[in-house]
Amino acid sequence: MAQAPWSFHSAGSLIFGNHAIEQIGDAAMRLRAKRVFIITDTTLEKVGVAEQTRAPLMKAGCTVEIFTGCLPEPPADVIRAATAAAKAFQPDLLVGLGGGSNMDTAKLVAVVLAHGGDPTDWVGDCRIPGPVFPLVCVPTTAGTGSEVSAAAVFTDTAKQIKVSTLSQFLRPLVAIVDPLLTVGCPKQVTADSGIDALTHAIEAFTAVDHDEFLQRPPGGETVYQGRNTMASGMATECIMLVGQYLKRAVQDGSDLEAREKMAYAATLGGLAFSNAGVALVHAMEYPVGGAVHVSHGAGNGLLLPYVMRYNAAVRADEMRSIGLWLAGPSAALQTFQGGVEGAIQIVEKLREDIGIPTKLRQLGVTEEMLPGFADKAFGIKRLMRTNPRMPQSAEEILEVYRAAW
Ligand SMILES: NC(=O)c1ccc[n+]([C@@H]2O[C@H](COP(=O)([O-])OP(=O)(O)OC[C@H]3O[C@@H](n4cnc5c(N)ncnc54)[C@H](O)[C@@H]3O)[C@@H](O)[C@H]2O)c1
Ligand SMILES: [Fe+2]
């Protein structure tokens, strides 16, 4: 049966490949920019990535200022500080440089510069009234796909939860993905962000069908739409690449082939999830990430196999395919025994091989916290909607948390 019409969205343009960062000056010129405000952190300044970004902009005749105050899992106050610094500089272009945290900080600065208010005013789906301040994003991790996505995630410190702003206006005008910028990425960040990319692809590939999505509550305008063939194709390619290259990138950060393939995989994962949707893994990670100290990627990686088991009831064929793709073309016949459980075990093994925690209690989560987490996750209705098996109560989610505890 034909699907109802779907649409596909990305960054305005994507420049991909080793040394792509050298083209940022040309990109700024095409956008007619003269004053460029780079939003990044002290680590990327120290390792020289900020300078690699600044130099081509200067060469193109731009005046450049660098803000280095970004922090992981961005607290709202950091976004406020970056906004104030940007206002003082009066740029005509923002550059979000770093992992998802810095790119998302830049996205939220772009929202507030264009539409005023506070970052917390813009939480939710499709609430941004028009284009945001001109923005270029440059990832230095291979994971989030924020450079092409419609999402910006930050920590609402007062409410102790990670929150998201979603809007097609949040897709950057230009995404510059230079795999060489990820070479200095520490092992743990490589592992955590890499398994985030896998989570994006698996959640997009197993998401509710587009047609069914349209029938589900809460309705209304949304960025996510359920799965469609284009997003599924990209998710498939992402899963295969992660299966072949994530472990290599973690084991040897200077493995340029692995870095390049993971950078591509992450962008594919971003394209897939930001059209089809992420789902229960992400919904369950947000309360965990807000309450204890864990990176978004590690939290997702921990929860992923448990949610796969929950979703397998309605996505058994897809889970088997995921197992085959992760096992890879040559290994598949020898090592992959097939079946849903086999697929989940491959994800568990990968998680273990790259050092992702396997139980919530390892992160300092107590059993008493779980019911509150389940209520918060169940409250994220837009992610309940995209999950193939739609939880009917917080109790169902609590069971998954208990298994993961
Ligand atoms: N907007 C989206 O679409 C989207 C999607 C998924 C996740 N996220 C969000 O992204 C954030 C996680 O992003 P992340 O996994 O990319 O990590 P991150 O941005 O939090 O970075 C983690 C650490 O790695 C360091 N780092 C990054 N690149 C480096 C490099 N090349 N060399 C040395 N150090 C480097 C950073 O300085 C930082 O300290 C979370 O807040 C998550 O919720 C956003
Ligand atoms: Fe994610």
pLDDT in tens, 202-254: 999 999 999 999 999 988 889 999 999 999 999 999 999 999 999 999 999 99
**Alpha-carbon gap, residue 386 to 21, rounded angstroms:** 35
User: How many angstroms is it from 32 CA to the middle of ligand 2?
Assistant: 32
**Alpha-carbon gap, residue 385 to 377, rounded angstroms:** 12
Determine the pLDDT at residue 158. Answer: 86
**Alpha-carbon gap, residue 307 to 387, rounded angstroms:** 10
Determine the pLDDT at residue 328. Answer: 84
Instruction: Give the closest residue to 72 by CA, choosing from 295, 355, 356.
Output: 295
Give the 3-state secondary structure of residue 323: helix
Instruction: Give the closest residue to 94 by CA, choosing from 134, 47, 142.
Output: 134
Percent of the chain with pLDDT over 70: 98
pLDDT in tens, 28-72: 999 999 999 999 999 999 999 999 999 999 999 999 999 999 999
Give, using CA atoms, the residue closest to atom 26 of ligand 1. Answer: 185
| Contacts of 377 by beta carbon, 8 Å cutoff, 6+ apart | 280, 283, 284, 286, 287, 383, 394, 397
Determine the pLDDT at residue 347. Answer: 96
Asked if residue 69 lies in contact with residue 78, where contact means CB atoms within 8 angstroms, the answer is: yes
**Alpha-carbon gap, residue 35 to 50, rounded angstroms:** 16
Residue 331: pLDDT band (50, 70, 90) is: low
Determine the pLDDT at residue 220. Answer: 86
Ligand 1 atom with the shortest distance to the CA of 192? 15
Dihedral class, residue 67 (left if φ above 0, else alpha if ψ from -120 to 50, else beta): beta
Percent of the chain with pLDDT over 90: 92
Determine the pLDDT at residue 159. Answer: 84
User: How many angstroms is it from 334 CA to the middle of ligand 1?
Assistant: 36
Q: For residue 12, is pLDDT > 90?
A: yes
Q: Which residues line ligand 1 (CB under 6 A)?
A: 41, 43-44, 47, 49, 72-73, 98-102, 104, 140-141, 143-146, 149, 151-153, 162, 181-182, 184-186, 189, 192-193, 196, 296-297
Ligand 1 atom with the shortest distance to the CA of 154? 41
Mean pLDDT of 333-348: 81
Tokens 């961005």 locate to 74
